[in-house]
Chain A
Amino acid sequence: MKKWEFKPGVAVLSVAMLAIALAFVMPLLWMISTSVKPEKQAASQAIRLLPDPASSTLPQAAENYTAVWHDSTVQFPLYLRNTLIVAMLSVAGMTLSSAVVAYGLSRIRWKGRGAMFAITLATMMIPFPVLMVPLFAIFKQLGWNGTLAPLWVPAWFGGAFNIFMLRQFFMGIPKELDEAARIDGMGHWGIFWRIIVPLSKPALAVVALFHFVYVWNDFIGPLIYLHHRDTYTLALGLQLYQSQAGQTPWNLLMAASTLVVLPLVLLFIVTQGSFVRGISAEGLKG
């Protein structure tokens, strides 16, 4: 074992980094802190992390969170369910379809494959505003506006970024496996399901995770395509809660924000490695 020695440079750097880490978590800490205070103490200039007296934290938290959960106008339980429905359908579609397309772009040789791949990549650059108006018109023809469909059906047609990432991953799987499988009489579906998918689980998990976060965060989509209050998602519900001009006390608003943020943070803690590994892999290209 190496002998521990004190390095002043490392110590200073560590302290500086911890300070920066604190700066990054402070907004979230303050959000939670405000969410467990009574309204009067939330709107005060004093900097306190816990309510006064500190023993009132739990009952006050219970009171605030119950008030948010049971708000008669902004029905968070309902929006949680809607968000989960969209997330499940959308994540399933995105993962599956991106994988199929990526398979086609990486392991099947066909004319125009290169061009197709280039077009797919180019679509990454298209700003959403270019699509939002015509999609609104198209969804109207289909009768989808006002339902959850506009938020998850497009996911079944794959996403450029994910296709790109999975293609890179699939390219790394030895071709010999395909050939062996073909000798065994497997078609493309067989190869895809029995060889590629099992070998690509980590990459597929990353796609699923990131798409889940994307759906949870999406604001402009629900803002445009959801009309009936009962169909709102959490992000839109939070904005509705916030926009009740001057009526929503800050402590309840922060409690609502905490409710929206919490599931993602939990997911991060549980799957921490995957998130970070996934991003490292995704960003490493150019």
Chain B
Amino acid sequence: MANAADISRRVVLGAMGAAAAGFVAFGPRGGGDDAPKGAVVIDYWEKWTGHEGKAMQQVVDEFNGSQRDVFVRYFVTGNIGQKALIAIAGGTPPDLVGLWNFNVPAYAESGAILRLDELAAREGLRLDQYRRGIQEVMTTGRGADRKWYGVVNTAGTLAMYYNKKLFAEAGLDPARPPRTIEELESAHAALTKRNESGSVVQSGFLHGEPGWWSWIWGYHFGASIFDEVTERATIDLPQHAAAYRWLQRTVRGFGGTDTEAAKALELFRQGFGNYNTPQNAFLAGKVAMEIQGPWLANMVEEFAPGLNYGVAPMPCAADIYDVANPVALVDTDVLCIPRGAKHPEAAMKFIAFTQRQDITERLALAHCKICPLVKVSDGFFKAHKNRGLAVHNALADSARAFVVPKTRAWPEIKDDFDATVQRMWRLEVEADTALKGVQSRAQGYIDRVVEQRTRRYGGT
């Protein structure tokens, strides 16, 4: 028989059910928009949140206000490189997606995104409007085989940021940052400080800060990872070994046995705050030199306005040093049109709008990035927050500017490389041995995609 507790339980359960039903019936719904009647509505997926997202949203709003034919809906999507691929493969792609440049090769080769050559030409866009390094991230193939797959949205090149105050304290010349790896190592030694008990409290340079580009160090010694022509992985080149021996030397500098050094480094890093906070290792002065993109100036302004920083090309090995052609990774995000997009032409209209000199410059200013176009207005230089803008700009034109290896196997190679560098970083394996392993596995991934391409499409 139902007792009082039983009845009240039923009442509560009923109330919960009713609340749930009510929420379903009257709760919030997505996708509400104020598109003008008759306009083509396109869905645009982007990664930017926070103030970077706001700046992008502004561009979208301005486009929507500028004409009545196309209406863009802006959706922030996390982990966009994976999400978009699943959506495209699943048959529910957006009309436009803001990928990272490193997604492009795999997307392009598997046909997940459309070739833009004709669409772009119709809107009056040309590749030669862009800087050399920028053209590289927008295309695959060379010469007559060059195919256009994406349009740069915001662009950066990686340079070395250094803390001038710490330089002066360590007796280094703040106006003469290191140019070669040797110089960098001696500056690192001078800038590394320990407390009474011998623990590191300030590090000169740290490869793992911010840790997003684990695979680039060999490039600063003159090697690349992948040869596009022969489709061979080139991680077995001695320059890579030299680069990662340097990385491990840095870790061992934390003192003691390998285990102790790795532990000391780990403890030191755990004292860093999250990247986008005032406790960021560089902003807080715990790391004196690090590799970074131009957007760092935005964070300096927000979190550490008094920080006196300098910007210089990331040093490279002495034998390849060339003042006119420094080494730098071009790191950008790219607008692409997915296969199966319902309105590719309309999407292209919006892309063309974002590439207008004033719009792209305004977005670059807000994101604190470089202007991807060859032509740059004077106002852009004056208004830009980053005092090292000229350095970043020049890097995009350098003959040694490099981009992510263009192979469909890149996502696998990168995951493998990242994991291996983590192990080297913790001194669990010697650089030489570890790189041999990556080389053979990477070649395996590449061979597989070559084999699959031959099987699917015949020939090469």
Q: Which residues of A contact B273 (CB under 8 A)?
A: 43
Q: Contacts A78-B30, A146-B92, A271-B13 given: A84-B20 contact, CB under 8 Å?
A: yes
Contact assessment for B78 and A243 in the assembled complex, using a CB-CB cutoff below 8 Å: yes
Would A270 and B16 be within 8 Å (CB), given that A77-B28, A78-B30, A244-B49 are in contact?
A: yes
Shortest C-beta distance, B58 to chain A (Å), equals 14
Chain A residues lying within 8 Å of B9, measured Cβ to Cβ, are 270-271
Indicate if the CB atoms of A247 and B30 lie closer than 8 Å. Answer: no
Tell whether B75 is near chain A: CB-to-CB under 8 Å.
Answer: yes
Q: Which of B13, B30, B87, B277 contacts A75 (CB 8 A)?
A: B30
Determine if B92 and A229 form an interchain contact, defined as CB atoms under 8 angstroms apart. Answer: no
Given the known A-B contacts A140-B91, A229-B77, A245-B275, are A77 and B27 also in contact in the complex, defined by CB atoms under 8 Å?
yes
Instruction: Report the bound CA distance from A284 to B20 in whole Å.
Output: 33
Provide the bound-state CA to CA distance between A244 and B47, in Å: 10
In angstroms, how far is the closest chain B Cβ from the Cβ of A209? 10
* Residues B31 and A81 in contact, CB atoms below 8 Å apart: no
- A227 adjacent to B92 (CB under 8 Å): yes
Please determine whether A227 and B28 come into contact, CB atoms closer than 8 angstroms.
Answer: no
- Does B457 reach chain A (CB closer than 8 Å)? no
Residues of A66-89 whose CB lies within 8 A of B: 73, 75, 77-78, 80-81, 84-85, 87-88
Q: Across the interface, do B16 and A267 meet the contact criterion of CB distance under 8 Å?
A: yes
Interface status of A35 (Cβ within 8 A of chain B): no
Q: For residue B46, give the distance in angstroms from its CB to the closest CB of chain A.
A: 10
| Bound form: Cα–Cα A251–B24 in Å | 28
Q: Which residues of B contact A263 (CB under 8 A)?
A: 16
Main secondary structure of the interface of A (DSSP, over half): helix
Within 8 A of A (CB), among B65-96: 75-79, 83, 86-87, 89-92
CA gap between A230 and B77 in the complex, in Å: 10
B92 in complex: contacting residue of A73, A228, A243, A270, CB < 8 Å: A228
Given A145-B91, A271-B13, decide whether A243 and B24 contact each other with a Cβ distance below 8 A: no
Chain B positions within 8 Å of A85 at CB level? 24
Contact B20 A240, beta carbon cutoff 8 Å: no
B90 touches A227 (CB 8 A): yes
List the A side residues contacting B77 at CB < 8 Å: 229
Docked-complex contact A229 and B75, CB < 8 angstroms:
yes
Q: Are B50 and A146 in contact (CB under 8 A)?
A: no
A162 interface residue per 8 A CB criterion: no
What are the interface flags for B175-216 relative to A under an 8 Å C-beta threshold, 1 for contact and 0 otherwise? 000000000000000000000000000000000000000000
Contact A80 B23 (CB under 8 A): yes
Complex CA distance for A77 and B92, rounded to whole angstroms: 23
Among A77, A84, A227, A240, residue most surrounded by chain B Cβ atoms (within 10 Å):
A227
A246 contacts chain B at the CB level, 8 A cutoff: yes
Question: CB distance A270 to B12 under 8 Å?
Answer: yes
* CB contact between A247 and one of B12, B45, B86, B274 (< 8 Å): that residue: B274
A136 near B: Cβ within 8 Å?
A: yes
Rounded to whole angstroms, the CA-CA distance of A85 and B12 in the bound complex is 20
Cβ B49 vs Cβ A73 within 8 A: yes
B30 touches A225 (CB 8 A): no
Whole-angstrom CA separation of A270 from B9 in the bound complex: 6
Question: Could you list 22 examples of A-B contacts with CB < 8 Å?
Answer: A77-B27, A80-B23, A80-B27, A84-B27, A140-B90, A145-B87, A145-B92, A146-B91, A146-B92, A227-B86, A227-B87, A227-B90, A228-B75, A229-B75, A240-B79, A244-B49, A246-B277, A247-B49, A247-B50, A247-B276, A270-B12, A270-B13
Which B positions have Cβ atoms within 8 angstroms of A?
A: 9, 12-13, 16, 20-21, 23-24, 27-31, 43, 45, 49-50, 53, 75-79, 83, 86-87, 89-92, 273-277
Binding site for B on A (CB under 8 A): 43, 73, 75, 77-78, 80-81, 84-85, 87-88, 136, 139-140, 143, 145-146, 224-225, 227-231, 240, 243-247, 263, 266-267, 270-271
